[in-house]
Amino acid sequence: MTAPRLLLVNGPNLNLLGIREPDVYGHETLADVERLVTDAAAAHGFDVTAVQSNHEGVLIDAIHEARTTCAGIVINPGGLTHTSVVLRDALAGVALPVAEVHISDVYAREEFRHHSYVRDVAAVHVVGEGVAGYARAVSLLIDVIAGRAEG
């Protein structure tokens, strides 16, 4: 029997983790994030498929594919959080539980970052906990998937 799977989605510019504004996003890299999520998921018996793209359509295609291959989605949409209705609609359309993650505290930053199109379709929200927030998001999302928490 195969393990249930999570889709990890990282949006535009997250490929620059560890390089881009380390005072805001820290020194961990995207590879560190993917390893952290994979380890956190494995501790609960889940596998992970990871995708990062600077292209909205690539992310939407991965979300659509997850409909038949994954039990839930952990997503840091990056700047698309504040601009992308189509990304939000893709997440709503696949009807999977979603965990929204932001490394920085978007609510303590510029005003335009305070609105999230993803917020209303996500069961879990982890904001401002650095890269470690991804592991917490995985754990909380798995609780939702398992029926141990509302989602």
Binding residues for substrate: 76, 82, 89, 103-104, 113
64 has catalytic annotation: no
**What is the chain's Cα-based Rg?**
14
Backbone phi, psi, residue 35, to 5°? -65, -45
Q: Which residues contact 64 (CB under 8 A, 6 or more apart)?
A: 90, 93, 94
Catalytic residue check, 102:
yes
Choose the catalytic residue: 25, 107, 115, 125.
Answer: 25
- Check 102, 107, 117, 134 and give the catalytic one: 102
Q: How many residues does the chain have?
A: 151
d(CA 139, CA 52): 21
d(CA 42, CA 5): 10
Active site residues: 25, 102
